[in-house]
Structure formats: C-alpha cells, structure tokens
Amino acid sequence: MAKPLSKLVSCVILDLDGTILNTDGIVSDVLKSYLVKYGKQWDGRRAHRIVGKTPYEASAAVVEDYELPISTDEYISEITPRFSEQWCNIKAQPGANRLINHLRNHGVPMALASNSPRTNIETKISYHQGWKESFSLIIGGDEVTSGKPSPEIYVEAAKRLNMNPSCCLVIEDSLPGVTAGKAAGMEVVAVPSLPKQSHLFTSADEIINSLLDLRPEKWGLPAFEDWIEGTLPIEPWYIGGPVIKGFGRGSKVLGIPTANLSTEGYSAILSEHPSGVYFGWAGLPTRGVYKMVMSIGWNPYFDNSEKTIEPWLLHDFNEDFYGEELWLAIVGYIRPEANFPSLDSLVAKIHEDGKIAENALELPLYSKYKGDPYLKISFPENI
C-alpha cells in the first residue's frame, strides 16, 4: 500500500512498545496471571483493546472488558508492580537493533516517543545496550497534555528536534500511534504487532510486516547494506521436535512436501519471530543435515487460524519422516509472508524461495552452521 512517491525525510521517530520492544508477550503473560485472581481468563483476541493506548486508557479498558470489581486506579496500583518486574525480560523486536545501529551509524537523528511515562521508558530501554545514546530525544506520555492518538507528542517531538513535521518518519505498531503521526503531518510506516490487523492501518503511508522489511531508501534515508544474494542474515534461532503426521495441506495441495512441526511449547519463539520465509539447516538425527527453507506464520492463502512452522527440506529429499525428530537452525530471512492471488503463483514463489535458500546456504556466512550441535547429527554428514 505504499504511495507511488514517498516524501523524503531527515529524521525518524520511533514508538517503543510493540515497535522496537516485543512487549505483547509480556503484557499477555502478566494479564493472564493477574486475571486469575479475579476468576477471569485473558483473551488474546481482545489485545487490540489495549495496544497503543495510554496507560490509563488501557487500564480502563481491561477493568471494563473483564468486569473487574475495582476502580481503574486500584487496578493500576495492582498491575504496575507486576509489569515493572517484567521490564528486564522484554526483548527487542527482530530488526530493532539493526535499525537503530544503522540510523545512528549514518547520523540520522532519531527520537523515541511513547505514551509511557518518561521514567518508565528510560528504565525499559536501559536493558538494551546502546539505545539510550542513540536517541537525540526521548519524550513520554507524561510530558504532553494528551497521549496518542492525539498528535501532540509527535508535534512536540518535532519541535524539540527542530524539524518540520513533514521531514519526520514515524514508525508505529498501533492504530492510535499511526493516527497520531498522521495528524501531526508526518510520514508513517506501520508495523502492526498484532496479527491480521493490517486492514485497519489504511491511513499509514506504508504497512510492513516487521522491521526486517523496512527500506529506508524509500524515504530518502541510507539503504541497509546487509542483504546478500536475496537474503538477510539473522541472529540464528533454533527449533525442533517431532514432525506431526498428516497435519496441514502443504504436500497435497502444493505438490511441495512440507513438514509440520508441533507449535506447542514454542509460543515464545513464535511470538518473537515475525511471520515470513526463513531458511537454514535441518537435522534428521538418524539421516543427516539438509538445506531447508520454511514459512512461519498464518499462510494467508489458506487463512490458517494458527501460526505455523512449515519447513521444506531441499535437495529433492522425498522420503517420509512422519513422527521423526526434526531439528532446525534458522540462519537467514528471505521475505515477508504474502497473500497470493492463485495457487500457481504461491507454488512458483515457494520454489523461488527454495532456490534462493539453496544458493545462499553455500556462503560461508551460512554454511558454517551446518555442523551446529543443535542439529543432533551424531555421524558424519551425508551431503
């Protein structure tokens, strides 16, 4: 949904929670355990009711939605210590460190504008090395009269940065944040942190799936230079377990055999990684190590209701391994998940992904992980 010609900008204003910090998992964990106290059950589908709101409004929404027998202020005093305790556990969103380092190294001024109070912002970012020093400005919800969706926080940020709002690029994960940035007269890239919400972000100038997909050159900023042969190296991550028998539609409908891993027990890993196409090495302990390309996400063509992990072992590997253990070392990223207009175009794209992965895995940068102990191969590799 990018406009044909984006306006060029000279500074970037980042939102904190959900945009550069992966706060959502922590929020749902804290609320899940807190609500038990009142005999209520956290409903992930209602997360949109709190994401991006000011702390007070988010609290009021929880009290209302779960019909808690307490006032919003009482709720705030009960929940605040539970959240503060977890701040040290909040991870950076994938691509956040890469983006912050890139902009800082190129001297692009960066600001942080969050509905959270200023002191909370500072504590939260203190757990992330190099962040505080990277921002020329930090502005909190307690430094303005009204928080997002009011444009005030962004207008004030531009003023303090000594920038014209039209020269600022806002990066936001929530609807109130996008609304605030647009009302302030800024260019806005939305990175929705909740799944299947993109259709709501029509006012954004561009919607991307994750920070990994940001192309700063579209906004006149220096381009990333870390893509190699169509792939982006990532901090490796690991996942493994038994292959589920007969689940999924991959091999039958697509004519491409894809394994289905149980996602049970991997909810943290799944929430930490944006949906998209990744690749790496796959170990079948009794057989060997194989090149692998995979999708993680909802597979919009089939509109799955669960986030899935679907690896495809390359090299014309064509035997069944139902029920066997499959261990994956995921080392690179290829593209965001897309919705294809036809099965043919989806199949063609998956084959293209396979070629990209196959070639890239020859690069020393990626091939060095072939012997990763996580792949659990106990005899010399067979390929």
What does 375 interact with, of Mg ion, ligand ADP, ligand RBF, none (CB < 5 to 8 A by kind)? none
Structural contact between residues 11 and 109, judged by C-beta atoms closer than 8 angstroms: yes
CB 294 within 8 A of CB 278: yes
Q: How far is CA 115 from CA 137, 140, 255, 331, 346, in A?
A: 14, 6, 48, 35, 40
Kindly identify the residues of this chain, within the stretch 230-269, that bind Mg ion according to CB under 5 A: 248, 250, 258, 260
Instruction: Dump the DSSP string for 326-354.
Output: EEEEEEEEEE-----SSHHHHHHHHHHHH
Whether the CB-CB separation of 280 and 323 falls below 8 Å is answered with no
Half-sphere exposure of 36 (CA within 13 A, CB side): 6
3-state secondary structure of 21: strand
Task: Report CA-CA distances (Å) from 47 to 42, 79, 84, 120, 141.
Answer: 9, 16, 19, 21, 20
Given candidates 39, 81, 246, 380, which one binds ligand ADP under the rule CB under 6 A? Answer: 246
Interface with ligand RBF: number of residues (CB under 6 A): 22
350 part of the interface to ligand RBF, by CB under 6 A: yes
Work out which of 322, 339, 359, 362 binds ligand ADP, going by CB under 6 A.
322
Identity (one letter) of the amino acid at 132? K
Find which of Mg ion, ligand RBF, ligand ADP, none residue 257 binds, CB within 5 to 8 Å per kind.
Answer: ligand ADP
What CA–CA distances, in Å, run from 80 to 48, 60, 72, 196? 20, 14, 12, 29
* Binder of ligand ADP out of 145, 318, 378, 382 (CB under 6 A): 318
Active-site residue flag, 17: yes
One residue of 132, 252, 355, 368 binding ligand ADP per CB under 6 A: 252
- Per partner kind, with CB cut-offs from 5 to 8 A, the member of ligand RBF, Mg ion, ligand ADP, none near residue 300 is ligand RBF
Among residues 180, 236, 212, the alpha carbon closest in space to that of 335 is found at 212
213 binds ligand RBF (CB under 6 A): no
Q: Is the Cβ of residue 204 or residue 350 nearer to ligand ADP in the bound state? A: 350
SS3 38: coil
Q: Which stretch binds ligand RBF (CB under 6 A): 90-98, 158-166, 180-188, 242-250?
A: 242-250
Strand order in the sheet with 137-140: 137-140, 110-114, 11-14, 168-172, 187-190, 206-207
Residue from 16, 21, 259, 356 binding ligand ADP (CB under 6 A)? 259
Active site residue 217: no
Nearer to ligand ADP, 144 or 360 (CB): 360
For ligand ADP, the closer of residues 152 and 310 by Cβ is: 310
Does residue 333 touch ligand RBF according to CB under 6 A? no
205 is known as an active-site residue: no
Residues that bind ligand ADP (CB under 6 A): 243, 245-252, 257-260, 311-313, 317-318, 320-322
Residues that bind ligand RBF (CB under 6 A): 248-250, 254, 258, 277, 293-295, 299-302, 304, 310, 312, 337-339, 346, 350, 353
Looking at the annotation, which residues are catalytic? 15, 17, 310
